[in-house]
């Protein structure tokens, strides 16, 4: 019956029918086009970005979704809490401060602090102790970026290094025990840990996607993919390459971040926990990509100290990827990032 009607239609007005079809097609296309344009507009309008200082560093927020302003307020509080209640070794009442003040005995801390410490210890164990969160006494001696930064005496370093030993830190679900006189410094993982806490916080908000930088350690949240610039070690306002990534964490460790020059030698802030001195490395920076912020922070520091070859083994253990920038301006990328990395500064070259 339908066939009859259709053929009847065709017979009566062939030209009109074609036009109706075309008209429908065009209208559908138009509606689709307008939808695409509108969603794009709405999406860009619903971006909320801001910059602040928290945890002693610059924090950039770019939030996509609803309630951006309100979410940002919550995030600022969250960061302050990370510093003051959990990780700072300077703020009295923080978990780490209390652990250090009572070294040798059990101190009850939050579950989160235990998790961050556990992750850091795991990396220490697997990298042969070149990265270690029990370096508190050492970092106090060097005091990079502080009022008393200086090259410590050899004896001072020898004495401080006696207290560096990740294996003497014992943890349970809610307590931490360090060795007597030992001092924890979670500075190397603090920003990444903050990223992990932020991810938890965001999951309870109306944020669809976000990219947040806590002093250069990044959280990429949600499905949206972002172009991440890796800083040019020679010029901190420019990037030397980009990574296209989503839903992950990114951390970079480099010798350009904090350093001082004495005589004709430069002393940068990444200490080899085994020697007590700044890591001797042919690397300018290592950028690590992995799901956990704490882990990517710890790994980027450990890899910078270890150098390229040993890093590959370590990264495999934790299922992490990395971009290595060498002092001779060559660049190496692990297999998983090969397709996501683009070199943008022509003065750098990919290593053969």
Partner 1 sequence: MKKLFGKADIFIIISVLVLSLLLFIPGIFNNNNLIATVYSDGEIIEEINLNEVEVPRTFSPKDGTEITVEKDRIRFSAACCKDELCIGSGWLSKKGQTAACLPERIVITIKGTDKTDMMTY
Residues at the site binding partner 1, with contacts judged by CB under 8 A:
14-15, 18-19, 22-23, 26-27, 29-30, 33-34, 37-38, 41, 44, 49-53, 56-58, 60, 62, 76, 145, 211-213, 216-218, 226-231, 236-237, 239, 242, 250-252, 254, 257, 287, 344
The residue (of 142 and 226) whose beta carbon lies closer to partner 1 is: 226
Sequential DSSP letters for 236-279: EEEEEEEEEE-SEEEEEEETTSSEEEETTEEEES-B-TTTSSBP
Phi, psi (5° rounding) for residue 236? -75, 0
Closest CB 165 distance from partner 1, rounded Å: 31
- Count CA atoms closer than 13 A to 185's CA, side-chain side: 21
DSSP three-state, residue 123: helix
The residue (of 89 and 166) whose beta carbon lies closer to partner 1 is: 89
Closest CB 62 distance from partner 1, rounded Å: 7
Closest CB 246 distance from partner 1, rounded Å: 11
The residue (of 222 and 276) whose beta carbon lies closer to partner 1 is: 222
- The answer to whether the beta carbons of residues 168 and 134 sit under 8 Å apart is yes
**What pairs with residue 232 in β-bridges?**
235
Which of 114, 156, 151 has the alpha carbon at shortest distance from 137?
Answer: 156
10 conformational bin, left if phi > 0, alpha if psi -120 to 50, beta if neither: alpha
Closest CB 162 distance from partner 1, rounded Å: 31
Closest CB 210 distance from partner 1, rounded Å: 10
Residues 39, 108: Cα–Cα separation, whole Å: 49
Residues 160, 179: Cα–Cα separation, whole Å: 13
In the chain, what's the furthest Cα-to-Cα distance?
A: 104
The residue (of 70 and 105) whose beta carbon lies closer to partner 1 is: 70
Residues 111, 341: Cα–Cα separation, whole Å: 36
The residue (of 58 and 158) whose beta carbon lies closer to partner 1 is: 58
Closest CB 88 distance from partner 1, rounded Å: 15
In degrees, to the nearest 5, what angle opens at C-alpha 109 toward C-alphas 105 and 115? 110
Provide CB contacts within 8 A for 345, sequence distance 6+. Answer: 232, 238, 239, 240, 241
Q: Are strands 330-333 and 349-350 parallel, antiparallel or unpaired?
A: parallel
The residue (of 72 and 132) whose beta carbon lies closer to partner 1 is: 72
Closest CB 228 distance from partner 1, rounded Å: 6
- The answer to whether the beta carbons of residues 202 and 221 sit under 8 Å apart is yes
The residue (of 140 and 258) whose beta carbon lies closer to partner 1 is: 258
Which of 163, 200, 174 has the alpha carbon at shortest distance from 74?
Answer: 200
Closest CB 34 distance from partner 1, rounded Å: 6
Residues 272, 129: Cα–Cα separation, whole Å: 9
Residues 267, 79: Cα–Cα separation, whole Å: 30
The residue (of 29 and 102) whose beta carbon lies closer to partner 1 is: 29
Closest CB 87 distance from partner 1, rounded Å: 18
The residue (of 13 and 167) whose beta carbon lies closer to partner 1 is: 13
């Amino acid at each position: 019956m339908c066939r009859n009607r259709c053929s009847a239609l065709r017979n009566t007005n062939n030209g009109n029918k074609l036009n109706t079809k075309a008209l429908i097609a065009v209208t559908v296309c138009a509606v689709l086009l307008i939808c695409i344009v509108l969603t794009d507009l709405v999406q860009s309008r619903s971006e909320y970005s801001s910059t602040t200082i928290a945890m002693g560093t610059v924090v950039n927020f770019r939030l996509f979704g609803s309630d951006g302003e309100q979410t940002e307020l919550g995030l600022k509080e969250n960061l302050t809490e990370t510093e003051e209640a959990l990780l700072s070794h300077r703020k009295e009442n923080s978990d780490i401060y209390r652990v250090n003040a009572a070294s040798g005995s059990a101190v009850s801390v939050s579950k989160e602090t235990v998790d961050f410490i556990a992750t850091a210890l795991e990396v220490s164990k697997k990298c042969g102790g070149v990265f270690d969160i029990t370096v508190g006494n050492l970092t106090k001696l060097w005091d990079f970026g502080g009022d008393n930064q200086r090259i410590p005496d050899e004896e001072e370093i020898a004495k401080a290094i006696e207290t560096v030993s990740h294996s003497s830190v014992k943890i349970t679900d809610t307590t931490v025990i360090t060795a007597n006189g030992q001092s924890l410094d979670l500075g190397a993982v603090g920003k990444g840990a903050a990223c992990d806490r932020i991810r938890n916080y965001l999951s309870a908000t109306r944020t669809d996607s976000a990219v947040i930088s806590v002093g250069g350690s990044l959280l990429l949240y949600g499905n949206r993919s972002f172009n991440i610039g890796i800083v040019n070690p020679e010029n901190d306002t420019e990037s030397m390459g980009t990574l296209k990534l989503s839903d992950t964490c990114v951390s970079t460790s480099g010798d350009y971040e904090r350093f001082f020059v004495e005589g004709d030698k430069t002393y940068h802030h990444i200490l080899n926990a085994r020697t007590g001195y700044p890591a001797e490395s042919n690397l300018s920076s290592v950028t690590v990509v992995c799901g956990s912020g704490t882990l990517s922070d710890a790994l980027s520091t450990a890899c910078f100290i270890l150098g390229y070859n040993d890093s590959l083994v370590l990264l495999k253990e934790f299922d992490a990827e990395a971009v290595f920038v060498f002092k001779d301006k060559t660049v190496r990328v692990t297999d998983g990032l090969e397709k996501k990395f683009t070199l943008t500064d022509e003065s750098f070259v990919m290593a053969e």
